[in-house]
Amino acid sequence: MRYISTRRGPNTPTRSFSDILLEGLAPDGGLYLPEEYPTLSVSDLDELRIVLREEGYAAMAAGILSLFVDDIDATDLCAITARAYSTPAFSDPQIVPVTALEGTDLHIAHLSNGPTAAFKDMAMQLLGELFEYELTRRGDWLTIVGA
C-alpha cells in the first residue's frame, strides 16, 4: 500500500507505511493518507468479530493493520500487536472491554485501561512497538521527546 500527502505537492512521492511511520509529516507539510482504501464486506467484519472473540484484541488489531501495512511481515505484525496490547500494560486482559448499555443497542468501549489510563494509550503502545521494530530493521535509532 502506498500513502500520499493531503497537500499532494508536485515533489511529494507516494511512500510506504514504514517510511511514513518514521517520517511523520510529508515534506510539503501535509498528512499521509492511503492512496486507496481497502473495502470491507459484512463477512470481513464478521470474521474480525470472530478473531476478537477467539484470539483477542491484539490478533484483531493485526488483521486490521494488515489491510494498511504491506511492508511488514504478517507474523511480525502479529508479534508487534501482541506486545503492544497485552497485560500488564493494559489492566484488563480484554484490552478494550465493552459494556452493553441495558435496554439499548448501545455499547461503551473502555479505552482507558492502558499504562496512563488515557485513550491515547491505544495508539501510543502500538506506535512505540512499530518504531522499535522498524528502527531495528533499519539498524537505526531515534530520540523522541514528548510532553
Q: Provide the grid cell at 104.
A: 439499548
Q: Please state, in angstroms and as integers, the Cα–Cα distance from residue 105 to each residue in 50, 51, 97, 102, 108, following that order.
A: 19, 22, 16, 8, 10
Q: Which of 7, 8, 49, 120 is catalytic?
A: 120
In whole angstroms, give the CA distance from residue 43 to residue 35. 24
Tell me the sheet residues that pair with 34.
3
**Which grid cell is 142?**
531515534
Any residues with CB less than 8 A from the CB of 58 and at least 6 apart, and which?
Answer: 78, 81, 82, 84, 85, 86, 95
Residue 120 designated active-site: yes
User: Taken in order 47, 52, 54, 55, is the CA torsion positive or negative?
Assistant: positive
Residues classed as catalytic = 120
